[in-house]
Structure 1
Amino acid sequence: MFGLQLPVASGRCTRGAFMTLLKIKENVREELGCHFILVIDTEGLKSPELASLEDSNEHDNELATLVVGLSDITIINMAMENTSEMKDILQIVVHAFLRMKEIERIPNCHLVHQNVSDVSAHEKNMRDRKKFLEQLDEMTKVAANMEKKHGNYLFQ
C-alpha cells in the first residue's frame, strides 16, 4: 500500500511490529499537514502461530490498543472471507477503539477487505455491507458491555 518492503515470517505475516518513517513530498505537505508519516506494520491478530499461547487474546488486545493509540488513522487489512475470523479480529479492534474513546482520543479507522469473490455483484455486495455494518454495531455493543461502558455505542 505504501510501497514498503517490511520483514515477514516464513510464509506468514509480520512478526511483532515494524515502523518506517516516510518523508512526504513537498507538493503534498501542506495538504496533509505534516512532513512525515509513520507507518506501523504489525503481526496479524488471531495469528495461528500464537493461538496455542495462554495469553494470546491478551497479546492481541494489547497490540491493537498500542497501534490504535499511536495512530491517527488505522488501516485494518483483511484478506479473508471467513466471517467468524473477521468478527473475532474486528471485536479486538473495537475494544481498542473503546479504550481510546475513554481517553477522548478518536482515531480514524479504515477496513480494507481483500479476496472478496464476485465483486461485480454490486447489489449483493451493498446488502452484505449493510448486514456487516449491523453486525459491527452489535459487536460494539457487546464490547462496550465487556468494557463496562454504558450508553449507546455503535461502530459507525
Structure 2
Amino acid sequence: MLVETINNNYQENLDNTNKNGIYEVNATASPGSYTYSWKYVGESDDLYDPDMIHGESYATQLTFSVPPKKIKGGETVSLDFSLSFTEQNLSFFDGYEGCRADWGNLRFKSADGKNFFEIYSSVKYSEKNVFSVSGTISAVIPAGYSEGDREELWTGGSKSGTYYVYEWRAQ
C-alpha cells in the first residue's frame, strides 16, 4: 500500500551550482513529471572550439506513469516513460539527462533488458546526439515482505525524481 510520496529536486545541489554566478540551474519534481534547465551565465570565450557563449542553455522534460497505489509481491509493475529536450541552445557545453525506475535495489527493465535511458545533445560530438527516448519498463516485485515492511519505488532522472514509499499490510 502506498503510504508516502516524496519528491526530490536535490535543491542543495542546485543551490551549490547556482551560488558562483557561472551557471543557473533549476529542477522540478512532482509525481510523474520532472523538469531540468541549465544555463551558462559566465562570460563568453572564443578560446574554445566551439565558442563558450554566455546564455547557452538546455532544458529537459521527463514523464513517468504514476505507479499503482497497491502492489503485491510477485506482481509485475510496468511504467511508461518519455524523456526529451524541450530546449537546445548549446555551443561549447553538452546537454544530458538520464532516467530509470527502481524498487529498492531492483532495476526496472525494458523488454530488451535496458535499465537506464539517456538523452544527449552536443555541437562538437553531434554523432552521439539522442534528443528523445521513450518506452515501457517493468519489474516483478519480490514476495516475502512482512507486515509493516517498507520499500521505495523510485522514478526519475539524474536531476530529480520521486520516491513512492510502500508499506506491506495484511490482505
Using the size of structure 2 for normalisation, the TM-score is 0.30
* Structure showing the higher helix proportion among its residues: 1
Higher strand share: 2
Which is bigger in relative contact order (C-alpha 8 A, separation at least 6)? 2
Instruction: Give the alignment's TM-score, normalised by structure 1.
Output: 0.32
